[in-house]
Amino acid sequence: MSRDGERVIELINELGSRVSNVLSDMVPPAAQVHLLNAQRELITALMLIYENRVAPAPAATRVRRARTRRRTTKRDSKIKID
């Protein structure tokens, strides 16, 4: 990870800890647990987005798979209705 990525992580963690300190007196403990889990998920998502933007995968590794045709069976045939 680059030095910029490490700085982003440090900044996000610092902001998260400051917000949690401010809200700890006003928010019940059960809600704090949910907020911390949401914070972790948000940080993870932001880091994945950041890493994807900074170093996208080379075009050679992105391979499209050929579409396969679905085999038909007797059950897939049309039923005549009188």
This prediction has a pTM of 0.46
CA 80/CA 9 separation, integer angstroms = 64
CA 50/CA 62 separation, integer angstroms = 19
The two tokens of residue 81 are 């209705």
Other CB atoms closer than 10 Å to residue 79's CB: what's the count? 5
Per-position pLDDT tens, the chain of length 82 = 567 778 887 888 888 788 778 777 788 888 888 888 898 898 888 888 888 887 766 666 555 666 766 666 666 777 778 7
- End-to-end, the C-alpha distance of the chain in Å comes to 68
What pLDDT shows up at residue 9? 79
